[in-house]
Structure 1
Amino acid sequence: MDFFNKLFGSQKIKIERAYKEGIKFYNNNNFLKAIDQFKWVMSKKSLSLENNLAKFYCSQAHRNIGITKFAKAEYEDALYHFNNAQKYNPNHTELSYFIGICLNNTGEFTKAIQYFSKLKELDPENIPNKLKMAIVFNNLGMWENAEAIHRNILEKNPHYADVHFYLGLCLLSASKLSEAAVSFKKALNLNPNYIKAQLKLSIAQAAMGEYRLAFNNLNQIHSKYPDYADVIYLIATVKEDCNEIGQAIQWLLKAVKINGSYKTARIKLITLYCKTGKINDAEKHLKEITYYYPNDNRLETLKKMILKIRQFPQENLFASIDNLLQEEQLQIQLIDEFHKNIDIMPNFSEIIEMFCGSKYSNETAAGMSKVILPFISNHIRKNPNFPDLRNSLGTQLLLCGKNEEAEEAFSTAVELNPDYLTARINLLKTLHKNGKNKEALEHGQYVLKKKLRYPDVYYTVAKVLFALKQYKASLAHAKKSLEIKPDMKDTHLLISHIYKKMDNKDLGHDQPDVGDEASNRQK
């Protein structure tokens, strides 16, 4: 008996030690080593508390790794860890949304739609989920389904530039070019800095033969982003289709100067040089691009063609050149552009929302924000004019307690897109938090002019007006908030404070007593 007691006692000590070691790794953000320890504990299949806790923390560690992989756009790895997080903790239902995105971005469209469909059953009016469903339907070639979802969202939310943009992509895929152009224009009207919408609009215009309009849009993008080689290449392609070969060559030279390994641009440049009889220039560029792609079959074909032109200059080889250039012709490339699968970019604000609910502590949310911040900063360096990224940065900075920096991030997002209401609402709340109530009021009034039924905005504006001692206006906005959402406890409390300030204490006592401070967790 003593032998068995010692044996099981020793095993219990090992399990406790491994669990504590796992927690130590977990707290130091060394999640992979933490997982190893927790899995060892679970492998012993004991009935101890450590076994149950190991399963919980193993799930959390997989989730955290999945988030970092997701933020880095490493979707296959993210999918592996999210699936394991749900395996060890089936209550991680919020991960289904991100699993759906990973499946879409790895080409598993049918599986992706299954996840988003289940989420729709739980919350039929969730706009981010509906938008992702529409994108997956588009990738499946089910354009009518995608179009119906986009139009349904826009019925109630006509000011969502992103939805107009994705509707345009859907219509482009369905070859409804004029309708697609209208959608891209609406997105641009709402956000004049929406470069992706302007680029797709120019593609639709080129496909409809509206070359001047296409060129003007592409040239506007080029003036803002002179090193955007893909835009320069499209300009060259439009110029070539207009039979302006000399200008096409000049634009292509710009593109390959920016990106020396730009194979498609080089091939078009070489073939245009061949067609215009500039064989020496063609050979020069062929030599330069072959350095990057020494075993490319098309480059080898070009090499043989140039040799043949030198040997038999009297022969008309234009037909051979045109045949080689077939894949670079404008209409062919535009059709390819129509049917590109749409990836769903990481939305860092959505990621962090997972940790802001009641299931997770503020410390957990702040901790994950610190993990995610470097990835957002990296995305901003690559895409400095994306308002979504600035808004996401502000959200993370708030969770890290960096309110002034968050204000700057939200302000930049609003400058980039004045009608980006989510960022403006975040700026409103942050300005109020930072004590800048006059500025906050301006942004609050801007949002309310849109006549959207956002109870939290009315509540925040009521708080701003209260801080500015405009009690009657504050009361009116607070009551409007309750008309939309009667169970907002913080608003009832604010009204009580307003009545007290207005020397109407009896009326103030009619409001429910909900404690001394607002919870600041209203949705």
Structure 2
Amino acid sequence: MDKNTQGIIYMQEGKFEEAATLFNEVIEQNPIDAVGYINFGNLLMHMKDFEHAERFFNRAIELDGNAATAYYGLGNLYFEQSLYQPAQQNFQKAMELGLEESDVYYMLGITLQNQEQFKLSLPYLLRAAELAPGDDEVLFLYGLSLAQANHLKDAKSTFENVIGMNPEHSDAHYNLGIISIYDENIDEALAHFNEALRIQPEHILAANGKKNIQALLKENDR
């Protein structure tokens, strides 16, 4: 196992000092290889040392202008600091350079979501879901963007697919409850809110939704 691979394993295990030692050795042994700088940048980002992480990613790009994962790293770094415009630019650059993974499409999608560009986020979140067909959270975020873009029919079927993958997804039930209200199906909405609360008793939004429906039903009974 090479030092980069072992360093990544250490980083995933939270052994940051051990990972730093290995990545530093990689850079010393081959100072013109961008990979060591990218890995060290990812490590520094995990440690919330954004200033130094940015330097390492930029150094990687200086060495290899086609290093897509360096741009992806910068995108994550800016996203973590809520700097969504530069995050978006770097995720797009990573894609232009051929990075074809679910994560980069997902991150660009939620970056656009956070800028309230819901319709623009849709193709990226859809592609992320296609590339990670077993990931219910990616599919849920796609459904959320559909709902935010007012594509409620498609959002409903997407949330139903999420529940098919993970019946215990409380937020999918909550959002189905909201869509049921728009469809004027109060009984179905209440059922979804109850299910969300069964899964997550402290789900405040579901509790408020249930409370409002119960108040409406009480008002109608008068």
TM-score (norm 2): 0.75
Aligned residue number for residue 176 of structure 1 = 83
**Aligned residue pair count:** 219
User: Which amino acid is the alignment partner of residue 201 of structure 2?
Assistant: N
Cα distance in 1 for residues equivalent to 2:59 and 2:27 = 14
Partner of 2:210: 306
Matched residue, 1:236: 143
Contact 1:205 1:214 in 2 (8 A): yes
Distance 1:226 1:103 in 2: 28
Is residue 131 of structure 1 aligned with residue 38 of structure 2? Answer: yes
Counterpart position of 1:16 = none
Q: Which of structures 1 and 2 has the larger relative contact order (alpha carbons within 8 angstroms, sep 6+)? A: 2
- Is residue 274–residue 306 contact of structure 1 (8 Å, CA) maintained in 2? no
Deviations 1:382-402 (A, max 9, x none): xxxxxxxxxxxxxxxxxxxxx
Would the alpha carbon gap of residues 130 and 301 (structure 1) be closer, same or farther in structure 2, given more than 3 Å must change?
Answer: closer
Shift of the 232–98 alpha-carbon distance from structure 1 to 2, 3 Å rule, reads closer
Quote the offset at 1:240 in angstroms.
3.0
Q: Structure 2: 5+ residue runs without aligned partners?
A: none
Counterpart CA distance in 2 for 1:132 and 1:180 is 18
CA distance in 2, matches of 1:195, 1:302: 30
Does residue 140 of structure 1 match 2:35?
A: no
Deviations 1:400-420 (A, max 9, x none): xxxxxxxxxxxxxxxxxxxxx
2:65 paired with 1:158: yes
| Deviation of 1:264 (Å) | 3.0
Q: Tell me the distance in 2 between the aligned counterparts of 1:170 and 1:110.
A: 20
Contact 2:118 2:145 in 1 (8 A): yes
Structure 1 contact 147–170 (Cα < 8 Å) conserved: yes
Match of 2:124 among 217, 240, 251: 217
Alpha carbons 1:184, 1:200 under 8 Å: kept: yes
Q: Indicate conservation of the 8 Å contact 2:159/2:176, yes or no.
A: yes
Opposite residue 96 of structure 2, the aligned amino acid is N
Looking at structure 2, the residues matched to 107 and 142 of structure 1 have their Cα atoms a distance apart, in angstroms, of: 15
Counterpart-to-counterpart distance in 2, 1:252 and 1:128: 39
Deviations 1:349-400 (A, max 9, x none): xxxxxxxxxxxxxxxxxxxxxxxxxxxxxxxxxxxxxxxxxxxxxxxxxxxx
- Contact (CA 8 Å) 2:197, 2:206: kept in 1 or not? no
1:240-319 to structure 2, matched below 5 A, reads 240-273=147-180, 278-285=185-192, 293=199, 296-298=200-202, 302=206, 306=210, 309-310=213-214, 313=217
Structure 1 gap ranges (5+) = 1-66, 68-93, 316-523
Query: Aligned partners of 2:72, 2:81: CA distance in 1, in Å?
Result: 14
Give the Cα–Cα distance (whole angstroms) in 1 for the partners of residues 113 and 206 of structure 2: 28
The residue number in structure 2 matching 1:84 is none
Classify 1:191/1:279 alpha carbon distance in 2 versus 1 (closer, same or farther; 3 Å).
same
RMSD: 3.6
- Cα deviation, 1:265-294, whole Å, max 9, x if unaligned, reads 223323544576533223444566678x4x
C-alpha displacement at 1:304, in angstroms?
Answer: 8.9
Post-superposition offset of 1:314:
5.2
Equivalent pair of 1:100/1:111 in contact (CA under 8 Å): yes
Question: Identity of counterpart residues, as a percentage?
Answer: 18
What is the distance in 1 between the residues matched to 2:207 and 2:114?
A: 32
> Given residue 122 of structure 2, which amino acid in structure 1 is its aligned partner?
F
| Contact kept in structure 2, 1:273 and 1:279, CA below 8 Å | yes
Assess if the C-alpha contact under 8 Å between 1:147 and 1:171 holds in 2: no
**Which of these residues, 93, 96, 102, is aligned with residue 189 of structure 1?**
96
The structure-2 alpha-carbon separation of the partners of 1:168 and 1:287, relative to structure 1 and needing over 3 Å to count, comes to same
- The residue type equivalent to 1:232 in the other structure is L
SS at match of 1:159: coil
> Is the alpha carbon distance of 1:278 and 1:114 closer, same or farther for their aligned partners in structure 2, counting shifts above 3 Å?
farther
